[in-house]
Amino acid sequence: MLARREYIPSSIPTFFFLSQLINLLPLQRDGFEAAKKVIISAITNNLDIEKILIQPSKTIAIADLGCSVGPNTFFAMQTIIQTLQHKHHHFQFQVFFNDQTSNDFNTLFASLPHPRPYFAAAVPGSFYGRLFPSSSLHIAFSSSSLHWLSRVPPPLQLRDSPAWNPERIHYTGASDAVVEAYADQFEEDMGVFLRSRAEEIVEGGIVIIIMPGVDDGVVTHDVGIAITFLGCILMDMVKEGMLSQDKVDTLNVPHVYPSVKQMRRAMEKNGCFEIVEMEIRNARSNQEAPIDIESAVMHLRALAESTMANHLGSHIVEELFNRAVEKKTLFSQMLYSAGIQIGSQLFALLKRNDVSC
């Protein structure tokens, strides 16, 4: 399971989120490690720095889109830069750490490694839109962030819509209309993301994407099952009179786990990037090892707490996750009975072509 790297709201104490994120580091590190070799190979074989640099510049610009508060972003940037340094010893490196304005950039920059082989800067704002000047980036990297949509799909908020999603908080196990509404929002968001990056990345520059994903023809991902598990607990709380049915009916977690087919369609529609590589991989370092369910619940809390607290209230969410720990056996049963590959992620390497977009 992969947690979101992008949002840490200022309304929740930072020390709490940091304690959660520390527990998630091995999980997210596994996600990057699973793709590390192919990233190194992709940069080595597909990025012609001498050709794409605007002379007399000797600075390579790299952006981490959805950086959170570290240290996984530092590990990823170090890997990318070390790969480049093997061929380009005389270049300088500028790393832009991007996340939402609510991100704790103070914590991020206080923990920057020393010494480091790059200059660092923060770029607050959503990556669903422009962030950088035209043709100013050479590499854009995004890990465990793009599965968060820019918003809840609008049809899910209309009670008379076929996509109204009562008693559920996600598209996992929902009707076709709900699944389609999520898919449509993902396609819209990816369109904005790709158009923005096409403006910002130089010809020949690359985009590296790592995110939860599924095989073609599959809808269910283990993170979706985890969210559905929380939805079941919330419905129990409704039956006990702890919260209203309407609170659950109007809560939809804006997560999507695309297939290669879905992602390829978005790329081809954009037309500004060549797909160098795109595949479903497994983020787990040991795929045969049993899942630590209690750690998975903690992981789930760091992933979903802020979204749910904003909608349900912090006292409800506290009770929700207390019950989630108590019901971890149910979570385990739901996870393993689904018959899906646990830990699947989509890896994509895109190269900015020379087409005018």
Q: What are the sequence ranges of the domains in the chain?
A: 14-352
Report whether 122 contacts 108 (CB < 8 A). Answer: yes
Q: What is the pLDDT along the chain (357 residues), one digit of tens a residue?
A: 444 443 333 333 333 333 333 334 455 556 667 678 888 888 888 888 877 887 677 899 999 999 988 788 999 999 999 999 988 778 899 999 999 998 999 999 999 999 999 999 999 999 999 999 999 999 999 999 999 999 999 999 999 999 999 999 999 999 999 999 999 999 999 999 999 999 999 999 999 999 999 999 999 999 999 999 999 999 999 999 999 999 999 999 999 999 999 999 999 999 999 999 999 998 887 777 888 888 889 888 888 888 899 999 999 999 999 999 999 999 999 999 999 999 999 999 999 998 777
**DSSP per position, 145-203:** -TTB-SS--GGGG-TTSTT--TT-SSSTT--HHHHHHHHHHHHHHHHHHHHHHHHHEEE
User: How far is the first Cα of the chain from the last one, in angstroms, to the nearest whole number?
Assistant: 36
Q: What was the pLDDT predicted at 30? A: 61
CATH number for the region 14-352 comes to 3.40.50.150
322: tokens are 């207390």
pTM (2 decimals)?
0.89
Backbone torsions φ then ψ of 57, nearest 5 degrees: -60, 140
The interaxial angle of helices 314-326 and 293-312, nearest 10 deg, is 160
Q: What was the pLDDT predicted at 155? A: 97
Report whether 352 contacts 205 (CB < 8 A). Answer: yes
Q: What was the pLDDT predicted at 307? A: 87
100: tokens are 């939402």
Q: Rounded CA gap, 281 and 345, in Å?
A: 5
290: tokens are 């049993």
Q: What was the pLDDT predicted at 21? A: 36
Q: Rounded CA gap, 213 and 189, in Å?
A: 16
163: tokens are 């996509």
